[in-house]
């Protein structure tokens, strides 16, 4: 964690307009991940951009504006985290797959997905 902090600090010191980070949450505990995401959010609030390359979907999805999903080197989806993850078979639990036809039929208000329920308690 400390090594990553020092590396990030050395890059951020130059105040680049676009900051690209590869797997920045790897090896970090929960609190450090939250600290990093908070810092990156405030960095963006200064008019800068951050590009995260990560497999840590659970942490990052709560803190990003847009998601670009790559699979086998190809863009599979782009949009809000909720839209991309809901549309991706890889990230949806089986229950969401069962409920999806109801969403598409316009009955979304009558149902909550597993992700909605979990999100309400996290």
Which among 23, 46, 71, 104 is annotated as catalytic?
23
Would you call 14 exposed, middle or buried from its count of C-beta atoms within 10 A (0-12, 13-18, 19+)?
exposed
CA distance 78 to 45: 22
Pairing outcome for strands 74-79 and 67-71 = antiparallel
Per the annotation, the verdict on 104 as an active-site residue is no
Query: Which 3 state secondary structure label does DSSP give 69?
Result: strand
DSSP labels, 41-67: HHHHHTT-EEEEE-S-HHHHTTT-S-E
Q: Which residues are catalytic?
A: 23
């Amino acid at each position: 964690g400390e090594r990553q902090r020092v590396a990030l600090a050395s890059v951020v010191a130059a105040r680049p307009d676009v900051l690209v980070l590869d797997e920045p949450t790897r090896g970090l505990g929960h609190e450090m991940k939250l600290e990093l995401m908070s810092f990156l959010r405030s960095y963006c609030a200064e008019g800068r951009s951050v590009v995260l390359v990560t497999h840590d979907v659970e942490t990052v999805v709560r803190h990003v504006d847009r998601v670009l999903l790559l699979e086998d080197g190809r863009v599979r989806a782009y949009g809000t985290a909720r839209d991309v993850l809901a549309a991706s078979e890889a990230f949806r639990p089986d229950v969401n797959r069962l409920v999806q036809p109801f969403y598409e039929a316009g009955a979304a208000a009558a149902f909550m997905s597993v992700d909605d329920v979990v999100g309400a308690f996290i």
